[in-house]
Amino acid sequence: MGANEKWAATTRTLLAENRIVMLNLIGSPGAGKTLLLESMVEHLNKEARFAVLEGDIETTRDAERLDILGVPVSQLLSGGSCHLEAKLVNHALADFPLANLDLVFVENVGNMVCPAEFDIGEHAKIAVLSVTEGEDKPLKYPLLFREASAVVLTKTDLLPHLTFNLQACRDNIAQVDASLPIFEVSAQTGDGAQAFTEWVLQQAVGYRSA
């Protein structure tokens, strides 16, 4: 077992001891990961105690956006690295009062490739793909879609202005993993955010009772 896997296992034990479920959001720069979290805050706040680990190469902008909304947030700077490593995530979790949390979201570094390769001790990876990126991406970057437990298609409000073929995208995702649930979300209009939030909460119950 490599160093990263050892730290991921340590994190899994820590999360289990505190009955916390951790989800790892992965997608390209600008896929809308932070906006997705912002759009879930109000609904989530009623149902669960949650915190966010913000992974970035540089800047603390995303963390500030969530901090303004009153979300407990810890900023991880990856030091130039293209993905978050399990050790860094494990240490960052110490920033939170773990006994008072149900759910931790990790927003990984904006990158569709490398973060999919690294276990950080999460219960599930969530692929975040904006419709502006094109319907071919699940076939071109299949590892993320093989590793993910769900796909969130973001920026659906832009569909009328794009040549994006939604059915082709669904077919391409199904070609990689036919059982993957797909959520279509516009954080701009709010459409779909509730359905994804409810799925997250259901998953959390499931992982906790497993």
Query: Which residues of the chain form contacts with a copy of itself (CB under 8 A)?
Result: 28-30, 56-59, 61, 80, 82, 109-114, 130, 132-134, 136-137, 139-143, 155, 157-158, 161-162
Question: What is the distance between the alpha carbons of residues 32 and 29, in angstroms, rounded to a whole number?
Answer: 8
Smallest gap from Cβ 197 to a copy of itself, in A, equals 23
Q: Which is nearer to a copy of itself, 42 or 136 (CB)?
A: 136
Question: What is the distance between the alpha carbons of residues 70 and 77, in angstroms, rounded to a whole number?
Answer: 21
> Strand, helix or coil at 76?
strand
> In what order do the strands lie in the sheet containing 124-130?
73-77, 50-56, 103-107, 21-26, 124-130, 148-154, 182-184
Q: Which is nearer to a copy of itself, 169 or 193 (CB)?
A: 169
Q: Which is nearer to a copy of itself, 18 or 132 (CB)?
A: 132
Give the alpha-carbon dihedral of 30, 33, 39, 40, to 10 degrees.
180
Smallest gap from Cβ 131 to a copy of itself, in A, equals 9
Q: Which is nearer to a copy of itself, 70 or 160 (CB)?
A: 160
Smallest gap from Cβ 184 to a copy of itself, in A, equals 16
Smallest gap from Cβ 106 to a copy of itself, in A, equals 16
Half-sphere exposure of 108 (CA within 13 A, CB side): 32
